[in-house]
Chains A and B, each alone.
Chain A
Amino acid sequence: MSAVTASHPYVEALLKGYEIPRSGASWLNERRAHALERANALSVPTTRDEDWRFTDISQLIKTNFQPIASSSPPAMSEISAFVAPEAVLRLVFVDGVFAPVLSSTRGMSDGVVVTPLALAFGTHAAAIEPHLARHATFENDVFTALNTAYLRDGACVLIAKDRKCPAPVQLLHISIQKEAAVHPRCLVVAEAGAECTVIEDYVTLTDGAYFNNAVTEIVAGEGARVTHVRLQREAAGAFHIANCAVVLAKEAYYASHAISLGARLSRLNLNVLQQGEGVEVKLDGLALISGRQLADSHTLMDHARAHGKCQQLHKCIVGGGAHAVFNGKILVRPGAQLTDSAQQTRTLLLSDKARVDAKPQLEIFADDVKCAHGAAIGQIDAEQLFYLQSRGLSTESARNLLTYAFAAEVVDRIPVPSLVERLEKVVLAQTQAA
């Protein structure tokens, strides 16, 4: 099998220099080989594909990405602004390469493993094998297939049965090389009754047009509780495509706080699969974009079992000539009775040229369920604006405050105070620039 026989020249370019790893467990090699096969067979989506109707990635395809050059990682002082002080455990990846000197893995309590995947393949294979590249399916997704074919390393968080990780874990992905194509990978497994908060964070020290093609898998066992904060703060010229697959066993709890601020073009597919009865899910999303940015968020809440609860709130703040896309699907499969699933999406358009495509989708195949969705798109409320002005605030600061307030509903619920504080500043700075 050769790496450079892809059906699509773009995939071929991305696979340039690809080498099949010689070492590795046979199960891993098989999955990588299968993924490579699929990457070669699949073509890159266009706006003719329903799932990509509003998101034109032709700019991504035109960019000629370069392989990662080996370089020394940045100094701690350069990245300290990105570090969440609450996170005792931190894994840092620079252009996809694990940076031990920037990471912090000391002080892991019993039953908590936070380690690069490359290490975990040797030490925790039994815990990883049932999950890695099993939940983020790549049969029909070229980006997940590419990421999986490239799977060498990544972040691995394992929480043993009934253990609780006392502080948030930060998985920090830093981009420094222009025009690099990187395939970040994360695996989080919380066994039955386990608890953890994971911050998956994409930041940059360059303004280049690099490409992050991320895949994350999160597994919550019976009664486990996982809180997932996802911050995408890529460079303004970057491309960010991410697939996140979440699998929930009986009575598991999963809360997602997904914030998209950066990138010229970003796409997040967040797929949550309810595999057991009685799960509880909270999905918060915020896209704050301006200029020529495009931020696309596709979510799927798949209620495959009964008694699932899900509350979703997705917000977009769109300035300049930016374009937000939201596609939120709630699927209630046959037999998933007493599902209670509610989705809200609200968009604030800050300019005449700003655009949003919001598409709530309910597919219900059970007859005793409660499902709701609502979509609202608007501008700054004139009565609220006047009220603030009548108290002395300038039009500009009143608009900023109201824009901030719109974002705050999502931002304030992030359970990491330092991130809330930082995001508040980012939101204010971005609304002032819009």
Chain B
Amino acid sequence: MIHKDAKVLLEVKGLRAKVSGTEIVKGLDLVVRAGEVHAIMGPNGSGKSTFAKALAGHPAYQVSGGTVAFEGKNLFEMTPEARSRAGLFLGFQYPVEIPGVSNSAFLRLAYNTVQAARGKDELDPLEFDDYVRAKMKLLEMDAAFLDRSVNEGFSGGEKKRNEILQMALLEPRLAILDETDSGLDIDALRVVASGVNRLVTADNAVVLVTHYQRMLNYIVPDYVHVMGSGRIIKTGGKALAEELEARGYDWVKAA
């Protein structure tokens, strides 16, 4: 929902970022206000995922220029964990498996760490169990996932549900969902999308990074941005996504 005078959550100016010495993001500008849903689309290699990872502070992605303010604060002065505690969330394209750490222990540790950082009450294992089970129901996740190791042996769809579960628990101000739709069948996509829709409020915002338009049938964006060669080359509304689906990306570059 667009409100022109809503609070600015994220302000990216002229961002440049490198991966192993190669510049992938080359002067990106973006403003995200509370209540908005943005979609960042673009062909492979256009810099979408690099942008997402640089925002979250992945050590392999070096910021080489520009500024990013998150709720007015310099994001690049914050460690990845400080960004998370401040309310930035990255839903991973490929969530890593962590054998030996139970999902329930991980989720509770993450939840309590972020709660404590925000001056809110932590939950003991029993309280947390009730809390997380309620959230899992919304995502139609089997409670058995709590006892398994983090993402270990999860299918693609299960991993993505687990990402959205974390988003639901951590209640970020800004969630960047990197290719959350990839690897999902149509039923899983609907469940994940409805989970995301439930989490969007007037106080937070979502940036969907996606290659395809299909998720945007379920999560309707306020803005659609097209990335090419490391910057946003076109911005429009929902109709732009449909046009991209019909015509591909080449015409945008040409235009």
Contacts and interface: CB of A to CB of B under 8 A. Distances in A.
A392 B114 contact: yes
Contacts of A383: 96
B100 A405 contact: yes
Contact of B90 (A390, A397, A398): A390
Nearest to B92: A387
A contacts with B: majority SS: helix
Given A387-B92, A392-B110, A405 B99 contact: yes
B100 A387 contact: no
A412 B100 CA distance: 9
Nearest to B115: A392
A409 B113 contact: no
Contacts of A405: 98-101, 149
Contacts of A386: 57-59, 80
A19 B65 CA distance: 80
B84 A392 contact: yes
A389 B80 contact: yes
B101 A393 contact: no
Contacts of A48: none
Nearest to A410: B100
B100 A404 contact: yes
A416 to B, nearest CB: 19
Given A386-B80, A409-B100, A397 B56 contact: no
Residue from the set A384, A395, A398, A409 with the largest chain B CB neighbour count within 10 Å? A384
A397 B79 CA distance: 14
Contact of A408 (B60, B100, B170): B100
Contacts of A401: 101, 106, 109
Contacts of A395: 79, 81
Contacts of B117: 392
B183 interface: no
A381 B58 CA distance: 13
A392 B90 contact: no
B204 interface: no
B96 to A, nearest CB: 5
A384 B96 contact: yes
A402 B113 CA distance: 16
A374 to B, nearest CB: 15
Contact of A393 (B56, B99, B110, B149): B110
Contacts of B56: 390
A393 B79 contact: no
Nearest to B56: A390
Interface in B154-200: 166, 170
A106 interface: no
A402 B166 CA distance: 19
B107 to A, nearest CB: 9
B26 interface: no
Contact of B85 (A392, A406, A408): A392
B27 interface: no
B43 interface: no
> What band does the interface of chain A fall in when counting residues whose beta carbon is under 8 Å from B?
20 to 34
A387 B98 contact: yes
Interface in B208-240: none
Contacts of A384: 96, 98
A307 to B, nearest CB: 31
Contacts, number: 76
Contacts of A407: 100
Contacts of A412: 100
Contacts of B95: 387
A28 to B, nearest CB: 46
A22 interface: no
A382 interface: yes
Contacts of B100: 404-409, 412
A397 B98 CA distance: 14
A188 B208 CA distance: 63
B19 to A, nearest CB: 14
A158 B80 CA distance: 57
Contacts of A408: 100-101
Nearest to B85: A392
A408 to B, nearest CB: 4
A110 B83 CA distance: 63
Contacts of A394: 81, 113
Output the residue of B80, B96, B117, B170 with the most chain A CB within 10 A: B80
A394 B149 CA distance: 20
Contacts of A409: 99-100
Contact of A390 (B80, B99, B101, B106): B80
A62 interface: no
A35 B137 CA distance: 68
Contacts of A390: 56-57, 80-81, 83-84, 89-90, 92
Contacts of A393: 81, 109-110, 113
Nearest to A389: B80
B110 to A, nearest CB: 4
A382 B80 CA distance: 13
B87 to A, nearest CB: 10
Contact of A389 (B81, B89, B99, B109): B81
Given A391-B170, A404-B101, 17 more contacts: A382-B59, A384-B96, A388-B110, A390-B90, A392-B84, A392-B85, A393-B109, A395-B79, A397-B109, A401-B101, A402-B98, A402-B101, A404-B100, A405-B100, A405-B101, A408-B100, A409-B99
7 interchain residue pairs of minimum CB distance: A405-B100, A391-B110, A408-B100, A389-B80, A392-B84, A392-B114, A392-B113
Interface of B: 56-60, 79-81, 83-85, 89-90, 92, 95-96, 98-101, 106, 109-110, 113-114, 117, 149, 166, 170
29 contacts: A384-B96, A384-B98, A386-B58, A387-B92, A387-B96, A388-B98, A389-B57, A389-B81, A390-B56, A390-B80, A390-B89, A391-B110, A391-B113, A391-B166, A391-B170, A392-B84, A392-B85, A392-B113, A392-B117, A392-B170, A393-B81, A393-B109, A398-B81, A401-B106, A401-B109, A407-B100, A408-B100, A409-B99, A412-B100
